[in-house]
Amino acid sequence: MATATPPENNGLIWLIVGLGNPGSTYLGTRHNVGLEVVDLLADRHDIGLGKAPKRAAANVGRGHIDRTPVVLVAPTTFMNESGAAVQPIARYFSVEAERIVVVHDDIDTPFGKIKVQHSRGTGGHNGVASVAARMGGSEFWRIKIGVGRPPGSQDPADFVLRRFSGEERADMDYVVRIAADVIERLVSDGAEAARQLAGSTRL
């Protein structure tokens, strides 16, 4: 007999998007923590990532988190063009904004902290701004991961393209795991449970 779908999700697909820049040059940089979270979710739930439908500029994979159907999205565009990847995939899978989760770095969130937000402004993040522009608004979920502030007068645009120090990297590996936990909680148990988990995270 088929297992009943939990009433919290009603069988509706969630789109989980990890923002970052493509290519080996950017692996491990602060700007790419969103992609790291999506890669981890793919590993945890045995979801293979492959070319997106309709020639969208992303690698995607379909699967389930618990019993909730999800599509993981790793854009292959540069950060500033993330919306060009997200919007056609959302349309293809008929996913409304309230079931889209965008996970990304944030320099205004303290290092190692995770915030769960819905329907807020872009916070000056170019990738989020691109998604909002292409989706016609910011009524999607955001998982913000604090990656630290640039020291002194360093340009934030340069700072986020740098890799973490050794100690920071160890901490961020832990934070990426918790961010994946938070997303799992969001799509399975709802926003309050996800926020409680995010708020309880300590380095």
Give the tens place of pLDDT for each residue, 121-143. Answer: 888 899 999 999 999 999 999 99
**Residue 7 pLDDT greater than 50, yes or no:** no
Average pLDDT over the chain, rounded to an integer:
93
Lowest mean pLDDT among 30-34, 116-120, 162-166: 116-120
Structure tokens at 138: 């910011």
Q: Is 125 a catalytic residue?
A: no
CB neighbour list of residue 15: distance below 8 Å, 6 or more residues apart: 70, 71, 73, 86, 89, 90, 93, 95, 99, 100, 101
**Residue 2 pLDDT greater than 70, yes or no:** no
Q: What is the pLDDT of residues 84-107, one digit of tens each?
A: 999 999 999 999 999 999 999 999
What mean pLDDT do residues 10-36 have?
95
| Amino acid 4: pLDDT | 39
Q: 51: helix, coil or strand?
A: strand
DSSP 3-state percent helix, strand, coil across the chain (nearest 5): 40, 20, 35
Query: 13 near 90, Cβ under 8 Å?
Result: no
Cα–Cα dist 123/40, whole Å: 25
How do the domains of the chain map onto residue ranges? Answer: 14-199
Residue type (1 letter), 172: M
Kindly name the residue from 31, 45, 64, 104 that is annotated as catalytic: 31
What mean pLDDT do residues 144-160 have?
94
Say which CATH class 14-199 falls into. Answer: alpha beta
What mean pLDDT do residues 56-66 have?
96
